[in-house]
Amino acid sequence: MRAKGPLPRGPWPAKVLAGSRSSGKGRVVGFRPALWAFVAVFLLTWGGWGIAQESGRPARRTPVVEIVERCSPAVVNISTEIEEGQPAYPFFRGPRDPLWEDFFNRFFAPQWESRIRRRSLGSGVLIDRKGHVLTNHHVVLKASKIHATLASGKEFLADLVGADPDSDLAVLRIALDTDVQPIPMGRSSDLMIGETVVAIGNPFGLSHSVTTGVVSALNRSIQVGEQTYKDFIQTDAAINPGNSGGPLLNIQGELVGINTAIHGEAQGIGFAIPVDRARRIVEDLVAYGEVQPVWFGLEFQPLTPELAAYLGFSGPSSLLVAQVFPGGPADRAGLRGRDILVRVGQTDAPKPEDFRRLLQQTRANDRVPVRVYRQGRYLESVLTAEALPDEVVDTVCLKTLGIRLAEAAPVTGRGGYGEGLVVDGVVRGSQADRIGLRPGDSLIKLNDRVVRNLKEFRREFARLRFRSNVTIQILRGRYLYYVTLELGGFPS
């Protein structure tokens, strides 16, 4: 029978408090277990929420967050001031006209120059406690002033220590007076495709922006104008204008690359210079202000199947030593012509690009183990790199370009052009002969870099040895013109 009226107030009946399991009508069934279950669920839920709150902070502090906190202070915002001269013609005022400019260029030296000042932005990375900052060469190209700003907001006037246009790297120095931990250099040789990487930089002037991604590919080549840059890291971490020169970091916070370029026709495709290549260049730039070219004293060629069969070699495609220079490193190591290079350094079955990459990463006195095949036997030796001799550069210049140069007294002419180097001889039938160069011509520039003496010429010419061609500026009388010549024949 259903109980009538409201439940009684005050103390509950003893049977109710006892939690009787009886299913009789008018009684509350299983109250005590239900109450305890409710309390337990409440405590677990509330306690779990509290635990989640306590553990939420470390769970959010991912390795990427830790990398950014640790490395951002050493990422530098670089801004430059560039002053460019523009000829001003005193007898002509009006719209620019090529005919008028050609007339005044021929018969009058430009008498005034108007200065055009513009700014560029980029990034850099502090690599030691001496204040050396690594960045891209194109970030500081033609800069009259370089400003470097740390994440703290402190700004420095930076000095250019040295630059290498071929690798697009430059080293700056700031008067570091704060305790900033430089970013340690890692290794790019053991990078894995799919590995997480972090890019920090100043895209579009937005300082210390962070993007993440993975290593998409290794050993990429990109074409910029007539020059091919090789051995790049490809990543999908966003690299925008202003990121150039900034660090690409692995998940341990180590520098593995210098962000350099983006693919203009696609998103998610960026490139970075491997730190293994940058390390050697940085050492030279800090020590000498320029990269010192080295050689091993040999010439090589690809090993064709026909040559391999002739020499009795059945291994994988490798390189054939075509010539060994007397007294050079290869000669001292016991190498001979017709030896087959089956291993160079850590690379088996090397290709020409592997050897070129090795030359770019090697400094004078570095020792490189090699393994060669000779007449049915495998031999091992060690090549010791040395500075590329001047006489080798002169020989290649004569053999490849067909010109012999000499230093001369300054030649009077437009704007002081013509001082320093003159063509002393032209090889009959050579490139120089075919395009019309002749003794007495003055050589002004190699690829837009002024050369005033033989030392500067040798340095610049050796720096271009991995290029396919070179453009030189010639002064003949009062006329300036450019010619392009093919390169090749540089020994390794």
Beta strands at 155-157 and 112-126: parallel, antiparallel or unpaired: unpaired
d(CA 187, CA 176): 26
* Buried b / exposed e along 333-366 (16+ C-beta atoms within 10 A): bebeeebbbbbbbeeeebeeebbebbbbbbbeee
Count Cβ neighbours within 10 Å for each residue of 398-410 and write b for 16 or more, e otherwise: bebbbbebeebee
The kind and range of the H/E element at 415 are: none
Cα separation of 394 and 462, whole Å?
Answer: 10
In angstroms, rounded to a whole number, what is the distance separating the alpha carbons of residues 388 and 287?
Answer: 17
Q: Residue 72: is it exposed, middle or buried by C-beta count within 10 angstroms (0-12/13-18/19+)?
A: middle
27 within 8 A of 8, measured Cβ to Cβ: no
User: Among the options 79, 123, 168, 442, which is catalytic?
Assistant: 168
DSSP E strands: which ranges in 97-237? 112-126, 132-135, 145-149, 155-157, 159-164, 169-173, 196-201, 209-224, 227-235
- d(CA 293, CA 278) in angstroms, rounded, equals 15
Angle of CA points 440, 445, 451, to nearest 5°? 85
Strand pairing category for 132-135 and 155-157? unpaired
The number of CA neighbours under 13 Å toward the Cβ of 129 is 4
Q: What's phi and psi for 196, nearest 5 deg?
A: -70, 135
CA distances from 323 to 340, 365, 366, 490 (A): 12, 21, 21, 12
In degrees and rounded to multiples of 5, residue 319 shows phi and psi of -115, 145
- From 132, 137, 138, 208, the catalytic residue: 138
Residue 137 known to be catalytic: no
Reply yes or no on whether 314 is catalytic: no
Q: Which of 120, 188, 216, 244 is catalytic?
A: 244
Instruction: Please confirm, yes or no, whether 244 is among the known catalytic residues.
Output: yes
Q: Annotated catalytic sites, by residue? A: 138, 168, 244
